[in-house]
Amino acid sequence: MKQAEKRRSGSWHPYLVMLLAGVAIAAVAALRAPEGTATPLVREQFWLRKVEQPAAYEMVLAGDSRVLCDLSPAVMSAVTMRKTLNFGFNFTGYESRYLEAIEAKLDPTAPSKEIVLGITPRSLTPLNMRVSGFLEESDRPASERLATRYLGRELSLLRPFALGAIAVASSGRTSAKNFYPDGLMAVELNPPDPDFDLKTYSTIFAGNKVSEPSIQQLLRQVRLWTNSGVRVYGFRPPVAPRIFEAESMSGFDEQRFVKDFEAAGGKWLRPDASGVVLADGSHVTASNVPEFSRRLAAAIVAARAGGHLHRT
């Protein structure tokens, strides 16, 4: 009798575990700060899609999160008349594998091919060469990629929530990220805070100055691209004044870099960023991305014609 009761009692354990697991998953999903709803893509699918893009583009936008979040291929394509991919990644440096991957997204049959490089001091530091969002996404195991391809939305519910994002929400701000099929990850922080990322920039360059070998590697690649007929443009994405000041600790000499970049065949652009709102001090807020993208695209069109549409 007692054994039968034990068996009946034990038979509930798997259901209880499943119930508790479901409650835990629901709690994580509820506590996680909400991401945007402008597109159906979740972040896991977004990164997989980006890494696996084919060699089908006439223009590739490359760089770290300040390209990833600042530039809309849809808007730029309408101005430049080029099929465009945003191939930016979080905390990415211009190391050799990333440089190869940028070129690999260009359509080899396109009559005109262009690469736009967002140059930030962080993208030229040893840390970004080693700890790279591009490398992280590219090196995910095949089993994880397969699961993301077919169960991405379900698996996103199991993603740990970021305490920082919850802190933002609890402070009275709202934040959102929207993931677009063309590679743009639009960000919002309301109300915007130009000093939100200042703490990171105030410490990131300690023992992590820009790397001269990395700069020279990038310049050699620019020369190879331009010698093969690819137009290469560079620009420095906008940041808030105090973050720009913090970047001076990186050792980045912009004037020298621009001179060497153009000597390698590239064209340096200075798009007008006046009035552009920065969500956190280092990324253009989502509602301003179309305008900034149009300004950069107009600078590219002017550069093609030998003009000089840029800020002073």
DSSP 182-237: TS-EEEEEES--TTTTHHHHHHTTTT-PPPHHHHHHHHHHHHHHHHTT-EEEEE--
User: Of 9-13, 109-113, 224-228, 265-269, which gets the smallest average pLDDT?
Assistant: 9-13
Q: Report the mean per-residue pLDDT for the chain.
A: 87
User: Of 43-57, 135-149, 214-228, which gets the smallest average pLDDT?
Assistant: 135-149
What percent of the chain is helix, strand and coil (3-state, nearest 5)? 50, 10, 40
C-alpha 67/C-alpha 185 separation (Å) is 9
The CATH H-level (homologous superfamily) assignment of domain 32-304 is SGNH hydrolase (3.40.50.1110)
Query: pTM of this prediction?
Result: 0.85
Query: How many residues in total does the chain contain?
Result: 312
- pLDDT for res 54: 98
Q: Where are the domains of the chain?
A: 32-304
Q: Are strands 174-179 and 231-235 parallel, antiparallel or unpaired?
A: unpaired
- Does 4 score more than 80 pLDDT? no
- pLDDT for res 42: 84
Mean pLDDT of 296-312: 77
For the chain, what percent of residues have pLDDT higher than 90? 71
Sign of the alpha-carbon dihedral angle for 118, 226, 72, 100: negative
Q: pLDDT tens, 253-278?
A: 999 999 999 999 999 999 999 999 99
Mean pLDDT of 160-166: 55
- pLDDT for res 312: 35
- pLDDT for res 20: 60
User: Of 18-32, 131-145, 183-197, which gets the smallest average pLDDT?
Assistant: 18-32
Displacement of CA 214 from its chain's centroid (Å)? 20
Residue 102 near residue 218 (C-beta atoms within 8 A): no
How many C-beta neighbours within 10 Å does residue 133 have?
Answer: 19
Displacement of CA 95 from its chain's centroid (Å)? 16
